[in-house]
Amino acid sequence: MVRPQDQALYVLQNEFGLIKIGRSRDPERRARALARRERCEIRIVAVLPGCGHLEEATHLALSEFAIAGEWFAGGVATRETVEALLESVTAWDWPFEDRPDGADHWLDQFHDRRGAEAEVRLFRRILKVYLLKELPGPLADAAVHQLSELFRCGQLPAISVRKVCSAHISLYWVRGRWLTVPPYSTDMALAKSLLPPGYLASIRMETPLEVCVAAMELRLEVLKQEVRDLSF
């Protein structure tokens, strides 16, 4: 793991005037990667070698100007505060003017990307921890239902696993009442209903749980593609 003090503190600015403070061993490479990811022009304003450990303190001092993530407003007040905080920089040259209208549009896209990325992380975690490691039964069914709803509407339904007559069942909350989660992981017909038409002909899956996993992995690939579409 790279220690913060072995990294440089950098100040970047995007074409809408927004300012980013971060740390990296290679600020120029970091700036190029961010420009590709964030779909805007980004230039380096200042680099302070060996000062990566100052990142958190700098963020805290700039908290009133925080916009999103490590990005801060690009107005005069922010710039003056940055210059006062990083007084070892002898000359400041801000390449872009503050453009609030353009920044607002860019920030909408920024939040869309971050939301899509968070959805992929959550989907992947549920798939890995609560489906791939489960045996057929109520817990696997609950994971399938949660993943299906996360894919469909971007939200997780409330789930409850209860013991009824010595057997466990999974329930989900909808329209003011609890309903039973379908037994996807033990019913082949239900499991197959999760797959796109013709998919079973291309791969051999012997159990309903295997079909469920395949169906959820397909959904994950769709979500990952949506992130790529938002990023390029």
Q: Are residues 88 and 135 in the same domain?
A: no
**What is the per-residue pLDDT for 161?**
86
Residue 105 domain flag: no
Q: What is the total count of domains within the chain?
A: 2
Within 13 A of 143's CA, how many CA atoms are on the CB side?
25
Residue 82 has pLDDT above 70, yes or no: yes
Q: What is the DSSP string of 4-36?
A: GGGSEEEEEEETTS-EEEEEES-HHHHHHHHHH
Asked if the structure places residue 107 within a domain, the reply is: no
Shared-domain flag, residues 48 and 121: no
Helix H or strand E segment including 164: strand 159-164
Q: What is the pLDDT of residue 70?
A: 87
Over residues 173-214, the pLDDT tens digits come to 998 999 999 999 999 999 999 998 877 656 677 899 999 999
Burial (CB < 10 A; 0-12, 13-18, 19+), residue 175, is exposed
Please check whether residue 108 lies inside any domain of the structure.
no
The last residue of a domain, from among 49, 68, 98: 98
Distant-in-sequence contacts of 171-174, Cβ < 8 A, 24+ apart: 172/142, 172/145
Tell me, yes or no, whether 135 lies in a domain.
yes
Task: Kindly state whether residues 58 and 84 are assigned to the same domain.
Answer: yes
Query: Would you tell me how many other CB atoms lie within 10 Å of the CB of residue 8?
Result: 19
* 211 in the same domain as 149: yes
Residue 13 lies in a domain: yes
pLDDT tens figures, 87-114: 999 899 999 999 999 999 999 988 998 8
In a domain, 104, yes or no: no
Using the 3D structure, point to which of 98, 133, 148 is the last residue of a domain. Answer: 98
Within a domain: 103: no
Q: Are residues 125 and 222 in the same domain?
A: yes
How far apart, in whole angstroms, are the C-alpha atoms of residue 165 and residue 123? 32
Same domain, 60 and 130: no
pTM of the model: 0.74
Work out the angle between the directed axes of helices 100-130 and 208-231 (0-180°, nearest 10): 160
Say whether both 94 and 34 belong to one domain.
yes
Task: Decide if pLDDT at 28 tops 90.
Answer: yes
Whole domain around residue 65: which residue ranges? 4-98
Cβ 144 vs Cβ 185: under 8 Å: yes
Q: Are residues 118 and 227 located together in one domain of the fold?
A: yes
Lowest mean pLDDT among 2-6, 107-111, 150-154, 225-229: 2-6
Tell me, yes or no, whether 78 lies in a domain: yes
